[in-house]
Structure 1
Amino acid sequence: MHRRHRRIAGITAAATLLLAAGCGGDDETTVTATTSPTVAASTTATADAPAVAPYIDIVSGTVDIDEVAEQTGQDDYTLAFLLADTAGTCTATWGGSKALDDSTVQAEIAKIAALDGDVIVSTGGATGTYLESVCTADELAAAYSSALDAAGSNALDVDIEQTVTAATVTQALRTLQTDRGTAITLTVPVGGTVLGLTDTSIALLQSAADAGLDVTVNAMTMNFTEENDDWGASMTTATEAVVADVKSVWTTLSDAEAYQMLGVTPMIGVNDTGPITETADAQTLLDYAEEKGLGFVRFWSVNRDNGGCTTGEVEATCSGIAQETYEFTKMFADFTN
């Protein structure tokens, strides 16, 4: 596959420096969701991340990574999910059950590396105990860093679908980005075609902006109400609402910069709340993403990218619709920004 990377730069380095200068350049940073702290620009360049990195349940072992690469050319992935352990302590695990150095998970990561693929470590998700809920900011930064090292990565996806303290998360991310220049994506739910992001998600983005973080925003275009029996159009309309939300937080962004800061992630096949992402709907979203110049695309998940079940039910290992194996992966792999 032609390797396409993008600079993760929700706020440019120049803008970060300007913010720091405007606040006096003090290195002491106190992060809250409602006040602008004094921040200093990181001396470490922010890492790159792949433009196309679909999610994969790295714990399940239900995807043949070599086969996917052979059939689609896809070799970059977002690994889901980093969680606290089963005891609910601040111990980073894969899926809440496997240690960072677990041999089966490491074997899967090694396959990606052998393909010259890149990985993004994703934390959080829909279920499980969040590290973000049980760790202090310092502990969280250390947990993130350990997981990135274990995966041979410097790109982090923070998927927040539960209630967390925004300041804890953004303070940890500030430490991580300052210390190692990590590429950071904030993945947040979309509430609807008009609503865009929820108030809770906007508060998280505002906290990130106040902390001077260099981030991108990943809109989860899934699980909201379909309009006019056109799910593809519903996803693009909702994304436009998210663009407006992003510009309400980072007020100096141009339209082009806001689009470049944004990525989209649909749920292929049957969504949890009823909508169905057919291949035509995914193509509508991909065409929109290319036309607008979105920074990246992902989808949930490669594990589901097959027609192994056509019952219309939500399953972890199949899409619930009639489709060819890896049909969505092939479509997304062709995305260019």
Structure 2
Amino acid sequence: MKIRIFCLLFLTVWTMMSSVEAAREPIVSPYVDATRMSENFLVDLYQQTGLKSVTLAFVLGTGFGCTPSWGGEQTLNDPKILNGVKAFRNIGGKVILATGGAMGPYLESTCSSADQLAQTYQQALNIVDSKHLDIDIEASVNVDIMLNALKILRTRIPELTISFTMMVQGDDYGIVDSLGVDILKRSRQIGVDVNIVNGMTMEFGSRRSSWGDAVIAASESLHRQLQQIWPEKSSEELYTMIGVTPMIGRNFNGKIFQIEHAKQLIEWSKQKQIGHLSFWSVGRDNGDCPGGGISPSCSSISQQKFEFSKIFQQYSGNHIPDKFSTTTTTTMKPDPNRTTTKPKPIDCSTGIEYIVHETYCDKYYWCFQGKPHLEQCPNHLVWDPKINSCNYAENAKRTDCIQE
């Protein structure tokens, strides 16, 4: 039986309270080149520094396509790597899995579909027993395949933490546009929640005399960029979404990230409650080649072994707020001719990937493996069936949902 609801729509305001969780643990997780570490390296690191988390880099494709491997060369189940990870986890260590990086081939380019990439991500995460995926983007990727793969992966691992590591263009600019800001905007449109945006605070342009000041300035610029992408989030919440990853010691641009810069970064991070700190890389965290050229196995400056690791570890005990609440109000414009019936079952057998929600403009159904999954656009966006993506209401021209 049809029920007229125009009076109800005239008076009703739909209010959504959403709790947004950013990645809180681990807060400090420096990069380790998995292809260069010995079997006992991670346990020795923990025993000498107290670091309880590392980011293992990098899982890549191979010349045979969408086949995950360490560095594009070593098999994913390499016993030396996995035995070291297992020993580290047995003493309480945690691992973040990183894909991408400076070398290829990227999984995000070699995998031909979102389903295939999601399966590959899951395979790599499972083998190191991790629920945190870090995608280091330094080359062009198929963005929609990558983001849809992350959506699929989240249905399989609801507690998954997603971080993007992105190149910095300049300390007064922030991260690059095409391989940074544009991907974050598309993430929001598609409905992929990003937990951490990790700025690669290395090899960027700066006129500042202090590289420590430049690293912090670049991170503040990233914060301003995030405010443009997620204007509904508070300044405090956005700081907890920021990651900072300098290259310790000598950089390729001639700048040097010194011990005092690390201490400066820790103090600033405590003030702002930054969500994630890392550096490239633990393998370089020694003073074996002071004054020398850039090396993957030393920092090229005078320092003690694991001195940067010990300084960064001091941030591990800081408390970062777990949740933030934001309120978004969407007013449904009255339509005296609008009627409704009992919702029909959602049919995902037709091959259609996205289906418009029968009532709410900011919701939609995503058909995956023959079943509908109710999805919701991020705050202030509505579902636009013309482009099969979340969009601003005025652009989607769904006038019943324009916010007032």
* Percent of residue pairs bearing the same amino acid type: 37
* Offset from partner CA, 1:107-132 (integer Å, 9 cap, x none): 11112112211100000001121011
Q: TM-score, normalised by structure 2?
A: 0.71
Following the alignment from structure 2 to structure 1, what is the Cα–Cα distance between the partners of residues 17 and 69?
A: 32
Counterpart position of 1:273: 253
Q: Report the alpha carbon displacement of residue 144 of structure 1 after superposing the two structures with TM.
A: 0.4
Matched, 1:170 2:170: no
Q: Counterparts of 2:122 and 2:34 in 1: how far apart (Å)?
A: 18
Asked if the contact 1:123–1:159 (Cα under 8 Å) also holds between the matched residues in 2, the reply is yes
CA contact (8 A) 1:47 1:154 kept: no
Q: Structure 1 residues 134, 301: closer, same or farther in 2, change over 3 A?
A: same
Choose which of 260, 264, 273 in structure 2 pairs with 1:284. Answer: 264
Paired residue secondary structure (1:273) = coil
**Alignment correspondent of 2:176:** 198
Counting helix residues as a fraction of each chain, which structure ranks higher?
A: 1
| Equivalent of residue 149 in structure 1, options 112, 118, 126 | 126
Letter in 2 for 1:328: F
Q: CA deviation at 1:194?
A: 1.4
With normalisation by structure 1, the TM-score equals: 0.84
The answer to whether the aligner puts 1:211 opposite 2:195 as a matched pair is no
Deviation at 1:312, TM superposition (A): 3.9
1:239-254 matches, within 5 Å, as: 239-254=219-234
Aligned to 1:315: 295
**58-67 or 274-283, larger mean C-alpha shift:** 58-67
Shift of 1:66: 2.2
Once residues 314 and 270 of structure 1 are traced to their aligned partners in structure 2, the CA distance between those partners, rounded to angstroms, is: 6
Equivalent residue of 1:128, what SS?
coil
Q: What displacement does 1:48 show?
A: 6.2
For 1:83-122, list aligned pairs within 5 A: 83-85=60-62, 87-122=63-98
User: What is the aligned partner in structure 2 of residue 161 from structure 1?
Assistant: 138
Q: Once superposed, which parts of structure 1, at least 4 consecutive aligned residues long, lie more than 3 Å away?
A: 45-49
Structure 2, gaps ≥5 residues long: 1-15, 321-404
Is the 1:272–1:314 Cα contact (8 Å) retained in structure 2? yes
Provide the rounded CA distance (Å) in 2 between the counterparts of 1:48 and 1:104: 29
**Deviation per CA, 1:93-116, whole angstroms, max 9, x where unpaired?**
111112221111111111211221
Please report how far the alpha carbon of residue 15 of structure 1 lies from its aligned counterpart in structure 2 after TM superposition: 6.1
1:213, 1:325 → 2: CA distance? Answer: 40
Name the SS for the 1:330 alignment partner.
helix
Partner of 1:186, secondary structure, is strand
Question: What SS does the aligned partner of 1:332 have?
Answer: helix
Which of 295, 302, 313 lines up with 2:275 in the alignment?
A: 295
Secondary structure of 2:141's counterpart equals: coil
Cα distance in 2, alignment partners of residues 177 and 247 from structure 1: 25
Contact 1:225 1:275 in 2 (8 A): no
Q: How many residues are paired up? A: 297
Partner in structure 2 of residue 22 of structure 1: none
**1:264 corresponds to which letter in structure 2?**
V
User: Given the alignment, which residue of 18, 21, 24 partners 1:14?
Assistant: 18
**Residues in 2 aligned to 1:70 and 1:103: alpha-carbon distance in whole angstroms:** 22
Indicate the structure (1 or 2) with the bigger Cα radius of gyration. Answer: 2
Secondary structure of 1:285's aligned partner: helix
In 2, are the aligned partners of 1:48 and 1:155 still within 8 Å (CA)?
no
Q: CA deviation at 1:13?
A: 8.8
Aligned residue number for residue 330 of structure 1? 310
Aligned mates of 2:17, 2:279 — CA distance in 1:
29
Q: Distance in 1 between matches of 2:205 and 2:25?
A: 31
> What do residues 221-275 of structure 1 show as CA deviations (whole Å, max 9, x unaligned)?
1111232310000111111110011111112111101101111111000112221
- Look up the SS of the partner of 1:229 in the other structure: coil
The root-mean-square deviation of aligned C-alpha atoms, in Å, is 1.9
Higher strand share goes to which structure?
A: 2
1:269–1:47: structure 2 CA closer, same or farther, 3 Å change rule? closer
